[in-house]
Amino acid sequence: MLTIKYVNSFYLIYSCSSLTCSGTQDESMLKERYFAGIDVGTSYIKVVIIDEKNEIVGSFTDRSGADLQKSITPAFKGAIAAADVSWHAIKHITATGFGRRNVSFADSVKTEISSHAKGAYHYFPRKITIIDIGGQDTKIIKIDAQGKILSFKMNRKCAAGTGTFLEEIAYKLNISMSEMNALAAKSAKDAALSSFCTVFASTEILTRIKEGEKIEDMIKSAFESVARRVIEMDTLEGTIVMTGGVVAYNDVILKTLAKSIGNKILTPPDPQLSGAVGAALFAKV
């Protein structure tokens, strides 16, 4: 059965309904070319579609879920819908992130280090130090003025200083992650939790709850711990750029870290999309 659909001033004729189905279109009317980057993270899937001018025309973010195969395709379709383009117009798809090998329809794959570096350099084309705080790991990437990676460090063996660490704290305090930043902003406390370990930090939070400590002070302490963990990973100097979902929704962490190192910290327009942007730029090469 054929399905005929009118999209972006041309007709598409589909012989099936799946993302990778065969189809035909009037090639003479397809003038624009687009490129996609898919960052399959441990907590979220981020998809970005750019045009030939490297401008983002659509993006989509959703939870990764337990079944990546079931989450990736809907996220990609969501980005296509946001961009208002046909997937036939997307000339290359590059996947990155820990689940990049699960993107069956990707044309190429890139490491998350390479993609985050390229995404950050796109917005700040100079010598920079990138701090990326994700769901399961924290990365510090140093690149030169030409965008070449000089060094990188990752915190992979422990959840300390990551989104998972904050999720555990939020769970213990019986609040949502979305409430943490606003609450932390009310605190004047500048003392980190005594332990980086998620298990020990959770125990400490329970003790503080029993002692009647203000919830905003406990959250600020958790944010201080994240900042302290980043500082101890590597030297932070020069132009610093911060990316990742944690900083995208918790600017108090950014301010806390900037205060601790005595340096201004820059962020791209949407910090959570940095890896996907880098992947999309690789797709265009």
Task: Report pLDDT for 249.
Answer: 87
Can you give the residue range of the structural domain that contains 229? Answer: 125-267
What is the CA angle 80-85-88, rounded to 5? 90
Query: Does residue 59 sit within a domain?
Result: yes
Instruction: Tell whether 173 and 234 lie within a shared domain.
Output: yes
Query: Does residue 25 sit within a domain?
Result: no
User: Model confidence over 171-222: pLDDT tens digits?
Assistant: 888 999 889 999 999 998 777 777 666 666 777 888 888 888 899 998 898 8
CATH number of the domain that 233 lies in? Answer: 3.30.420.40
Task: Report pLDDT for 1.
Answer: 40
Residues 43, 266, 120, 45: what is their CA dihedral angle, to the nearest 10 degrees?
20
**Number of domains forming the structure of the chain:** 2
Instruction: Tell whether 129 and 108 lie within a shared domain.
Output: no
Residues 6+ apart with CB under 8 A from 93: 35, 36, 37, 38, 76, 103, 105, 106, 107, 108, 283
Judged against a pLDDT cut of 60, whether residue 239 lies above it is answered with yes
User: Model confidence over 119-177: pLDDT tens digits?
Assistant: 999 999 999 999 999 888 899 999 999 999 999 998 765 666 678 888 888 888 899 98
Instruction: Tell whether 76 and 178 lie within a shared domain.
Output: no
Instruction: Tell whether 102 and 130 lie within a shared domain.
Output: no
pTM for this predicted structure: 0.83
Average pLDDT value over all residues in the chain: 85
